[in-house]
Amino acid sequence: MSKVVKFGGSSLADAKQFKKVADIIRADSERVYVVPSAPGKRFSDDTKVTDLLYQCYERTLTGEDFAKAFQPVRERFDGIIAELGLSLSLEEEYVKIGTDFRNGANRDYAASRGEYLNGIILADYLGYKFVDAAKGIFFDNKGNFDSDITNACLGAILEKTPKAVIPGFYGAMPDGSIKTFSRGGSDFTGSVVAKAAGASLYENWTDVSGFLVADPRIVDKPEGIEVITYSELRELSYMGAGVLHEDAIFPVRSANIPINIKNTNAPDDAGTLIVPSAKNAPAKYLITGIAGKKDFSVISIEKDRMNSEKGFMRRMLQVLENHGIFPEHMPTGIDTVSVVVNSHELDGQREKLAQRLKEVARPDHFEIIDGLALIAVVGRGMKSAKGTATRVFAALSHADINIRMIDQGSSELNIIVGIDEKDFEKAIRVIYDMFILSEQGEK
């Protein structure tokens, strides 16, 4: 059986990290397909190679010489090669990238070179074959990931390549040009490779010992999650738990391949196992995790007898769709509807949208309120348990935090609350204390 191992940017930030990665791979002969990110931050105010590449691209657009703009990227890679003592030279690759830039290569191409070059180094260091993701991972004409073609092509390549390094984050368009996934997309590549290889496990190596109940930048030393289901994870990643890209579970989910999140800096820690169903893994706490995001706006519409006006909702949603706006939540009352949207989706079209909605809805009151944060409290354990919502609300009200919106999915897997952005961190901490600290006390 084969395992696919993906290493994030911090796991490959410098030669010292490369050595840890090689030790991990060599410790298990089933770790045969390796998906690297580009080198990440070595210290907190360092710049990720992907960001250096975006900067390089912008600088060349404003007329700067490629060699000069590319220098910071080159230094990172040459530094790693020298420190690892490899005889590899990337000189020809740098020349090719310069030529491609001059021939008008796009921004995604520029960004993808971080994973591409890092993959070449890692393959050389491990003695594995390098497989360019552009040869096996494909998008369709509309720029959507094409899972059928990818599975067939990548599957065929891997079948005849027993050990390979496949760079994360990018693939090819039908015309051969390079396209990247969204930021953090190497997690998705790892999942795609695991599916194409028919792997028994997808190990995702990062800088924390698995998924934690809450973001460690907000809650001090949060408890780790041993087992989490695909559905729980999906809710948490969508709501901003940054460990895994929000789409990364889809390819492996369809093939029933578990994911294990592991820590490159503490490889013996068990990490988090992400499984299709948790039949054999009872939840440890009532809730599995808490995550949240800032920067939401509420479009609030009030109108007497709104509920008796047929097609009202459809017309409103049509206006939003015409403006390319996706409604995240839509709590409704008899005569009110609030649509929660990502604030950035309103950029540049706020006035026009408001005007159009007013024309269509003819509301008694219309308002767009900014500064909303959403927090999701997620857990398979809350399904049959009574009082989960009460405890969330009690925690928030004791902390004097006003709840501006409530939404509970019908799957009873999550409760979402909308609060003022200024209360965001505090809210996560008090919910954590309510469910984890107090239950720890009882255990």
What does the binding site for ligand ASP look like in residue numbers (CB under 6 A)?
8-9, 37-38, 48, 50, 114, 168-169, 183-187
- For ligand ADP, give the closer residue by CB, 9 or 381: 9
Minimum CB separation from ligand ADP for residue 269, in Å?
Answer: 12
Q: Which is nearer to ligand ASP, 186 or 264 (CB)?
A: 186
Q: How many CB atoms lie within 10 A of CB 149?
A: 16
Which one of Mg ion, ligand ADP, ligand ASP, none interacts with residue 36, CB within 5 to 8 A by kind? Answer: none
Give me the least distance between CB of 128 and ligand ADP, in Å please: 20
DSSP string, 259-314: EEEEETTSTTS--EEEES--TTS--SSS--EEEEEEEEEEEEEE-TTGGGSTTHHH
Asked if 114 interacts with Mg ion (CB under 5 A), we say: no
Which CB sits closer to ligand ASP, 204 or 288? 204
| Closest C-alpha among 125, 138, 146, 152 to residue 36 | 125
CB closer to ligand ASP out of 184 and 224? 184
Closest distance of CB 205 from ligand ADP, Å? 7
Contacted by 168, from Mg ion, ligand ADP, ligand ASP, none: CB < 5 to 8 Å by type = ligand ASP
Q: How far is the CB of 246 from ligand ASP (least distance, A)?
A: 12
Which pair of tokens denotes residue 206?
């990062």
Question: Of the candidates 256, 164, 262, 257, which has an alpha carbon nearest to the alpha carbon of residue 206?
Answer: 262
Which residues are at the interface with ligand ADP (CB under 6 A)? 8-11, 37, 40, 184, 206-208, 211-212, 214-217, 241-243, 289
CB of 282 to ligand ASP, least distance (A): 33
Q: Which does 114 bind (CB under 5 to 8 A by kind): ligand ASP, ligand ADP, Mg ion, none?
A: ligand ASP
Q: Give the residue with the Cβ less far from ligand ADP, 214 or 259.
A: 214
Considering the complex, state which of residue 157 and residue 228 has its C-beta at the smaller distance from ligand ADP.
228
Spatial strand order in the sheet of 3-7: 129-130, 164-165, 31-36, 3-7, 201-206, 259-263, 272-275, 227-229
CB of 76 to ligand ASP, least distance (A): 12
Smallest distance, Å, CB 119 to ligand ASP? 12
* Nearer to ligand ADP (CB atom), residue 35 or residue 346: 35
Q: Minimal CB distance to ligand ASP: which residue?
A: 186
Site string for Mg ion, 155-194 (x = CB under 5 A): -----------------------------x----------
Distance of closest approach, residue 162 Cβ to ligand ASP, in angstroms: 25
**136 contact, one of Mg ion, ligand ADP, ligand ASP, none, CB 5-8 Å limit per kind:** none
Please provide residue 273's backbone torsions phi and psi, each rounded to the nearest 5 degrees.
-100, 130
Q: Which two tokens stand for residue 439?
A: 């239950």
Of the CA atoms within 13 Å of residue 233, those in its CB half-sphere come to: 29
* Closest distance of CB 95 from Mg ion, Å: 30
In terms of DSSP H, where are the helices of 39-169? 49-61, 66-84, 91-102, 107-126, 147-159
Nearer to Mg ion, 25 or 208 (CB): 208
Q: Residue 73 carries which side chain, given as an amino acid letter?
A: V
* Cα–Cα distance, 368 to 351 (Å, whole number): 10
Burial 255-285 (b: 16+ CB within 10 A, else e): eebbbbbbbbeeeeeebbbbbeebeeeebbb
312 Cβ neighbours under 8 A, 6+ residues apart: 303, 306, 361
The least distance separating Mg ion from the CB of residue 289, rounded to whole angstroms, comes to 17
Cβ-proximal residue to ligand ADP, closest one: 8
Name, in order, each residue with C-beta under 8 angstroms of 398's C-beta and a sequence gap of 6 or more. Answer: 430
Considering CB distances under 5 to 8 angstroms, the limit depending on partner class, which of ligand ASP, ligand ADP, Mg ion, none binds residue 48? ligand ASP
> Between 112 and 414, whose beta carbon lies closer to ligand ASP?
112
- Asked if residues 291 and 228 have their Cβ atoms less than 8 Å apart, the reply is no
Q: How far apart are CA 201 and CA 257, in angstroms?
A: 6
Question: What are the residues binding Mg ion (CB under 5 A)?
Answer: 8, 184
